[in-house]
Amino acid sequence: MEKQKQFGCDISHKSFGCISDISEHMHVHTVDKLHVCEACSKSFVDKHRLNIHMFTHTAKKPHSCDICMKSFKEKNHLNTHMLIHIGEKPHVCETCNKSFTRISDLTKHALVHTGEKPHACDTCGKSFAHKSHLNRHILIHTGEKPHVCYVCSKSFSDKSSLNMHILTHTGEKPYVCEMCSKSFAHKNHLRRHMLIHTDKKVHACNFCDKSFADKYHLRRHILTHTGKPYTCDICSKSFAEKNCLNRHSVVHTGEKPHACDICNKLFAHKSNLNKHMRIHTGEKPYACDLCGRSFGAKSSLNMHMLIHTHEKQHTCSVCSKFFAHKSNLIRHMLIHSDKPYSCGICNKSFANKSVLNGHMDKHISI
């Protein structure tokens, strides 16, 4: 196949397939921009570009896809989108032959081979191959979470995390395992599940050669080697991650800026408020993959999973009895100790608070 001739811009070093495209492009570098937007005063070199820009103010998307009904501001964006449905990927990487629907995706992909990371963070110096990755990274420093869930108002730093979260409300599980037909809400959950069938552990620790099925667990493991570099200035407690130190700092200030709109209870962290709200809404987004039972908190699901694994890691120091949950061990220890729960009316003592509450009902009913 004959390679298409390229016309290069000497100013921006962009390449174009035909001379008419580069001629149009050169307007970008000209000083005169005579067509001004009345809404925001931004100016453009020609009327066509002004008309395209106006869609950002009107939000009008006149070009709709007949297959999925998604709409677009410009006809060429619709044409590019249609390639998704027909499966056509005309843009091929010359290095690895991987093909892409859009030339912009091919351009981004090419950086994988060159190793180039031209976008650097001004705060910490970390570099990224793509500007979008840098923009997402910057939110770590600013703490900004601009993407808000319209159902529960939980906010996220990037759109993909919001989209993943939305599935907890819809209950949709679009990712299906081809081997056992089990379905998942998120693609990375399916990918992690597939390791059950392949038994692959591809992420290896450089310190001890221990390997893990996914990158998340590898990162957590590496902290056992690197230690906890973030220290609290007040109590000297150390943390493996900066965000954990930031959360801890609220303990000393006593600040609880997040209030429940229903019962006015205050919380130090937005995440704790979000968890609390599930008491009012009845939402249980964490489902057990084995039995389907749902829970309002991730920690409750983790505790529940011990039922399936038969893991009992909490041992009584007196009689060596094992328990799956620490709370059950604490309750059990009362058998060996005194009865700390006393009735304020008749002074009768109980080992268990729930039994004391039941006892108190007898006084109330008298």
Domain membership of residue 267 (yes or no) is: yes
Domain membership of residue 27 (yes or no) is: yes
Domain membership of residue 289 (yes or no) is: yes
Average pLDDT, the chain: 76
- Give the strand pairing for 294-295 and 286-287: antiparallel
| Structure confidence at residue 2 (pLDDT) | 41
pLDDT for residue 127 is more than 80: yes
Determine the Cα angle at 241 with ends 238 and 244, to 5°: 75
Which structural domain, as residue segments, surrounds residue 23?
Answer: 7-60
Q: What are phi and psi of 184, to 5 degrees?
A: -135, 150
| CA 112 to chain CA mean position, Å | 23
Domain of residue 37, CATH code: 3.30.160
CB atoms within 10 A of CB 168: 19
Cα 166 to Cα 118: distance, rounded to the nearest angstrom? 33
Domain membership of residue 221 (yes or no) is: no
pLDDT digits (tens, 9 = 90+) for 266-290: 888 887 888 888 888 888 888 887 7
At which of 60, 78, 103 does a domain end? 60
Domain membership of residue 69 (yes or no) is: no
At which of 43, 60, 77 does a domain end? 60
| Structure confidence at residue 24 (pLDDT) | 65
8 A C-beta contact, residue 34 and residue 48 = no
CB atoms within 10 A of CB 213: 19
| Structure confidence at residue 133 (pLDDT) | 82
Cα 162 to Cα 190: distance, rounded to the nearest angstrom? 18
| Structure confidence at residue 356 (pLDDT) | 82
pLDDT for residue 233 is more than 80: yes
Q: Nearest Cα to 299, choosing from 325, 267, 264, 273?
A: 325
| Structure confidence at residue 310 (pLDDT) | 63
Domain of residue 277, CATH code: 3.30.160.60
Cα 209 to Cα 222: distance, rounded to the nearest angstrom? 11
pLDDT for residue 261 is more than 80: yes
pLDDT for residue 5 is more than 50: no
Number of domains making up the chain = 2
Cα torsion for 319, 324, 327, 330, to the nearest 10°? 10
Domain membership of residue 78 (yes or no) is: no
Tokens of 164: 């993943």
pLDDT for residue 27 is more than 70: no
| Structure confidence at residue 319 (pLDDT) | 78
| CA 141 to chain CA mean position, Å | 16
| Structure confidence at residue 3 (pLDDT) | 43
pLDDT for residue 194 is more than 70: yes
- The reported pTM is 0.32
Q: What are phi and psi of 89, to 5 degrees?
A: -130, 85
Q: Nearest Cα to 121, choosing from 140, 106, 104?
A: 140
Lowest average pLDDT, out of 36-40, 197-201, 297-301, 332-336, goes to: 197-201
Domain membership of residue 16 (yes or no) is: yes
